[in-house]
Structure 1
Amino acid sequence: MDLMDIQTPPQGAYAQADGVEYHFVEMGEGSPTIFLHGGGPGCTGWSDFGQVAPLFAADRRCFLVDILQYGRSAKPVIKGPMWDYHAAKTVALMDSLGIERADFVCNSWGGTIALNLAAKYPERVRSLIITGSMPVFHGPLAPLPEGGRRGRNARDVYYGGDGPSWQKMRDLMARLEWYDPEAVPEGTVTLRYEQSLDPEETALAGASDNPRGDWQDLSADLGRIEAPTLFLWGMYDAFLTPDYPLMLARMIPNGSLHVMSQVSHHPQEERPHDYYTIATGFLNQLHG
């Protein structure tokens, strides 16, 4: 799949889920696999996983979901604990789509949603592959970069000043999401920049209150996760160095860690074939 295919996302479909509307792209047949994207400006299920999901779709039924407040999904103001809200709504989406249990492949923000879902609704999750997520606010060796606020700070810079621009999007991706800044694909920059101009997303980013809900630390919940969990991490993740997912893997009863070289926060985009090989090896070992 070339970058022009990534820049032109499929039309996708919509589903109602407990009072909100989700947009998703579905492809392939087989075991249900839900992909949840990160929380960066302009991120969608397609922008984060469009390059790698067709590989999974060879033998899996893949759902690339726009999480709430992103992409073409609804953008409600969230009140109360944010990860509990997202987990409950994602379960409602699974109900709407007739999915009893699924494997989850997730980046950053989406991974924290999936971890909380696995802790609160264990019967709905077969396994988890988590990349670049921050479910707890502490690290094992040193304070987290920018006090754990690097993502929120970057979003504030992107939407602040003169507002979003193509160059600001490219700079954000090159600085925080890609190991090789020269390799950032222009098509993906354009896709995310155009999505970031969505008036509802811009309003959420600039709101003075907290429309995303109350932040939750999941330290007390990770030990409840029954599903086998692979933390698939970039060696040069700009948000969380590999000592952090090693700590997470030890907090989960059946957790493990693989660290990929020469990638940062979005290894599934930088090295999609290698990401797929590692992830599907983990899934096939579990489920055959």
Structure 2
Amino acid sequence: MTELTYDGTGRTLETPRGTLHFHEAGDGPPLLLLHGSGPGVSGWANFGNNLPVFAEHFRTLVLDFPGFGTSYSCDSDPMSAALPAVVDFLDGLGIDRLPVLGNSMGGAIAARLAATHPDRVSRLITIGGIGLPLFSPSPPEGIKLLVQFVEDPTHERLVAWMESMVYDTGILTDEFVDMRWRTATKPEALADVRKLFNLQSLAAMGKPAARAAEAIGMLTRIQAPTLVTFGRDDRVTPLDSSLVAMRYIKRCELHVFHDCGHWAMIERKDEFENVALSYLLRDSKPAVRL
């Protein structure tokens, strides 16, 4: 496949709430990829290296949430703005129903979309991001380090946070870290991420029981076939969170990547792509060989 670049795949869509930026590549049925949260994140930062593989099979759409990448800034916190933006995005492109794959915050938003708009999601894949921790402390280590960076954004704190996101810190090349540093320290990017991660939100995360009923209720409303994936060594959404999702999502399967942290699509790229494509193409006729 021809090399897919940031500029070559970049698109914008005007919506009632503002301009959404996204990447688009490939033909065939649509597939939506939703990124996670954190300093310097965007759709491209999470999924740019995966785009060529998915684009071989799908019209692959990689959205920047409001407050991230170059989509519009939001008045509320980015988590609250994300789901309405996804609905606006699908409406604006004239897409009724499609599979959705999300990492971390993107997985949480994809799950909410499936629960509240079941007619829009044909299959759901999450990378961390859903469920509730049963045995691990809350807030987890990765979120604590993220808030420390947001409160005092130094290069050393960014590196400490990024190291908590992966099992093998060797993948954190200088180029990778510098890319996130340049984006994370833009004033508007810091302002938006501070709306989501701050000392107040950290305190709220320390009371998981307070949001348990709402979280479980949301999971029970998901009707789409669902593949929940986790890194065994995830220090942001610990693996034990998957047990709740497995129990309450009606048609749920689980895949665990060993020696893997929070960024399975980056750290275990080839295996992640193989697992995700196998699930997305499971019902294809004739069977697809990967």
Measured against the shorter chain, the TM-score band is 0.7 to 0.9
Deviations 1:224-265 (A, max 9, x none): 111111011111111233222132122100111000111110
- Distance in 1 (CA, whole Å) between partners of 2:189 and 2:140 is 19
Alignment of 1:223 onto 2:220: yes
SS across alignment from 1:21: strand
Q: 2:181 aligns with which of 179, 182, 193?
A: 193
What residue is the counterpart of 1:262 in the other structure? 259
| Contact 1:28–1:60 (CA under 8 A) maintained in structure 2 | yes
| Contact 2:104–2:126 (CA under 8 A) maintained in structure 1 | yes
Report the residue type matching 2:227 in the other structure.
L
Alignment of 1:156 onto 2:147: yes
- Distance in 1 (CA, whole Å) between partners of 2:111 and 2:44 is 21
Alignment of 1:139 onto 2:128: no
| Contact 2:115–2:219 (CA under 8 A) maintained in structure 1 | yes
Report the residue type matching 1:249 in the other structure.
M
- Distance in 1 (CA, whole Å) between partners of 2:277 and 2:55 is 11
- Distance in 2 (CA, whole Å) between partners of 1:223 and 1:263 is 28
SS across alignment from 2:237: coil
**Structure 2, unpaired ranges of 5+:** 206-210, 286-290
Pairing 1:53-68 to 2, within 5 Å after superposition: 53-68=51-66
What residue is the counterpart of 1:274 in the other structure? 271
| Contact 1:40–1:151 (CA under 8 A) maintained in structure 2 | no
- Distance in 1 (CA, whole Å) between partners of 2:119 and 2:179 is 35
- Distance in 2 (CA, whole Å) between partners of 1:99 and 1:115 is 18
What residue is the counterpart of 2:208 in the other structure? none
- Structure 1 residues 282 and 116: CA distance shift in structure 2, 3 A: same
SS across alignment from 1:227: coil
Q: 1:109 aligns with which of 105, 113, 117?
A: 105
Report the residue type matching 2:174 in the other structure.
E
What residue is the counterpart of 1:182 in the other structure? 170
| Contact 2:133–2:238 (CA under 8 A) maintained in structure 1 | no
- Using the aligned pairs only, state the percent identity: 29
Cα deviation for residue 47 of structure 1 reads 0.5
What residue is the counterpart of 1:128 in the other structure? 124
Report the residue type matching 1:153 in the other structure.
K
- Structure 1 residues 196 and 131: CA distance shift in structure 2, 3 A: same
Cα deviation for residue 61 of structure 1 reads 0.7
SS across alignment from 2:39: coil
What residue is the counterpart of 2:239 in the other structure? 242
- Distance in 1 (CA, whole Å) between partners of 2:160 and 2:133 is 27
- Structure 1 residues 184 and 82: CA distance shift in structure 2, 3 A: closer
- Distance in 2 (CA, whole Å) between partners of 1:164 and 1:203 is 15
Deviations 1:20-64 (A, max 9, x none): 221111111111111111111111101111111211111111111
Cα deviation for residue 285 of structure 1 reads 1.1
| Contact 1:246–1:257 (CA under 8 A) maintained in structure 2 | no
- Distance in 2 (CA, whole Å) between partners of 1:149 and 1:270 is 20
- Structure 1 residues 270 and 258: CA distance shift in structure 2, 3 A: same
Cα deviation for residue 160 of structure 1 reads 2.6
Alignment of 1:170 onto 2:159: yes
What residue is the counterpart of 2:47 in the other structure? 49
> How many residues are paired up?
272
| Contact 2:150–2:190 (CA under 8 A) maintained in structure 1 | yes
TM-align CA RMSD: 2.6
Cα deviation for residue 109 of structure 1 reads 0.5
SS across alignment from 1:43: coil
- Distance in 1 (CA, whole Å) between partners of 2:230 and 2:275 is 11
SS across alignment from 2:22: strand
Taking structure 2 as the reference length, the TM-score comes to 0.85
